[in-house]
Chains A and B, each alone.
Chain A
């Protein structure tokens, strides 16, 4: 089942081509990682799929229907987004923040009964159950990020969505320590295994390689590669797109594809500045 389908999408903003003719598909049960240098258009693509902005060209379908056909409220019941950063200065507890994620599901009796347990459940899945009574503004950056993941998770947990569910993650581990980074990506895989289509923007190529079923590489608005990690993350491509020299290895602990990278050519220090 297709969770998201992007076809020939172009976006122009402020006189610049942000995205140019991008096409890809995400199936239920898979994790797609979007990688690329800064400014490649990864977050913009994610925002388009989330329905935040409309593309100038092309079509996008999410959870079985074109984006134009979705009402904001209906889409919110099967698609959740973890944005890059959130500023919240009001003293909601972490639990209350996660419960805000349940807003699309109304205020019926069923909902009120289940909302709390779903929220606590999601907090536990991100390893933040102990943070439930803490005030959100008092949490560290990493803790806040995990609470946001829990919120998005709560949004699409325990819902009837015959056309599929979608989880969009925009650098959702940027503030997390390595252990939690792995933890959150493992969680992404678990969620995918439950039938959700997960799209994650990520900077770390190794995380993308380890946890992505397929990887989409964006460079200056173009999707230059899309496929399984082995096929996509070749030294040639990495050098071309990221300006990095790389060697592909197998992680002896997990068996997944791993890249060892180094800057392409050391930039020569100008003669006059040499010590």
Chain B
């Protein structure tokens, strides 16, 4: 399935197929390119920032960690910035970007809709509701303790909120043990609207301090990234990243319809359930630590499909890598363009993602890889 499609008809006697070249198939090249891109953007993310740290100093600080001392001078402040601020921020960007990218790819396959996005299942709006509830009502319920607790309480509430919203969507769309995809989309709309209105009510009730806090949370940011956030998010984001690609062949078959997928031996219902659970876990964890970051889940799978076709075996890992690259890249932009201030990353992804998407659409070939 990965070799370049041949332009010539093949003879019945199985004459030589000129397109099969051992090793260097298109998807291998694309994956290699993505991994290289990831390494590049990680290095850039570590080396670039409002504080000036020269590349050699970066190398020195990093190599110190593995016991190799280089004769390059650097301050302990620079080391602290690199190891405690930039590195966890880049790591978080990787995890969140990969979770959003692969989540988007899985849902686009599941809903047979290239415009699907992790927000469809209510994860983002549920998480927002959870976080805003803690911000606005937290002090009322917990008093002064809330100030110290918001560090763990907010991500937890955001995660639970996303989970609750998705469970509601899932429960509404189940009929006789089967998931009805069409009902799921509509349930998502309804749950998003309900969560949105409850969030709006809380925003109305908030005082100006709370309003400022939640406004920024809703815009998404990797600015809160420290190592504890990374370790907290890692298990729930990494596990689905490893498990979801195993559903790729099933998702391919399901694109032809649940009935055909059944004929081909795949339990579409089970695959749907599993995908929803895995995507909810990873995207829920991502949103919990970084707020609502739009566009990555929509754009990353799309870009991969554009370059390498709609086969999920390529799109899912590709979108994870692509999402990670996009997010870390956007974050580099967010923290340098207005340095020393920090732009909300959701603003950057929207500002870059929107026009880019429009350009993509304008370039589409009819029925070609441009739109799906």
Contact = CB atoms under 8 A, between A and B. Distances in A.
Q: Are A and B genuine complex partners? A: yes
Interface of A: 47, 50-52, 71-77, 79-81, 83, 86-93, 95-97, 99-101, 103-104, 107, 115-117, 120-121, 124, 129-130, 132-133, 135, 137-138, 155
B265 interface: yes
Interface stretch (B83-91, B96-104, B197-205, B256-264): B256-264
Contacts of B310: 90-92
Q: Would you list the 3 A-B pairs with minimal beta carbon distance, nearest first?
A: A76-B265, A138-B367, A73-B265
B340 interface: no
Interface in B236-290: 249, 252-253, 255-257, 259-260, 262-267
Interface stretch (B6-14, B28-36, B143-151): B6-14
Contacts, number: 115
B114 A96 contact: no
B247 to A, nearest CB: 12
Interface residues on B, range: 35 or more
A103 B259 contact: no
A138 B6 CA distance: 17
A135 B309 CA distance: 10
B10 A120 contact: yes
Interface string B310-327: 110000000000000000
Given A100-B264, A132-B6, 8 more contacts: A74-B265, A89-B113, A91-B367, A91-B369, A91-B371, A92-B309, A133-B6, A133-B7
14 contacts: A52-B262, A52-B263, A72-B265, A72-B267, A83-B260, A86-B260, A90-B114, A90-B372, A96-B5, A99-B1, A116-B1, A124-B9, A135-B368, A155-B264
A101 B252 CA distance: 10
Contacts of B371: 91
Contacts of B113: 89
B10 to A, nearest CB: 5
B266 A103 contact: yes
A79 B267 CA distance: 16
Interface in B189-242: none
Nearest to A47: B259
A95 B3 CA distance: 11
A89 B112 contact: yes
A96 to B, nearest CB: 6
A87 B181 CA distance: 15
A115 to B, nearest CB: 7
Nearest to B313: A107
Contacts of A99: 1
Interface in B291-305: 305
Contacts of B3: 116
A124 B6 contact: no
Contacts of A120: 10, 17
Contacts of B266: 72-73, 103
Contacts of B6: 132-133
Contacts of A74: 265
B366 interface: yes
A89 B257 contact: no
B10 A129 contact: yes
A103 B114 CA distance: 23
B257 A86 contact: yes
Interface string B357-372: 0000000001111011
A132 B263 contact: no
A115 B17 CA distance: 13
A91 B5 contact: no
Given A77-B265, A103-B266, A116-B17, A89 B256 contact: no
Contacts of A95: 5
Contact of B259 (A79, A83, A117): A83
Nearest to A97: B256
Given A103-B264, A103-B265, A91 B309 contact: yes
A86 B263 CA distance: 13
A96 B311 contact: yes
A116 B20 contact: yes
Contacts of A117: 10, 14, 17
A129 B263 contact: no
Contact of A137 (B257, B260, B264, B367): B367
Interface string B19-52: 0100000000000000000000000000000000
Contacts of A101: 264
Contacts of B255: 88, 90, 92
Contacts of A88: 255-256
A95 to B, nearest CB: 6
Contact of A75 (B1, B249, B265): B265
Nearest to A77: B265
A75 B266 CA distance: 11
B265 A124 contact: no
B260 A96 contact: no
A103 B366 CA distance: 28
Interface in B150-181: none
A203 to B, nearest CB: 20
Contact of B114 (A47, A89, A138): A89
A100 B259 CA distance: 14
Contacts of B253: 100, 103
Nearest to B10: A120
B10 A100 contact: no
A80 B14 contact: no
Contacts of B260: 81, 83, 86
Contacts of A81: 259-260, 263
A118 B192 CA distance: 47
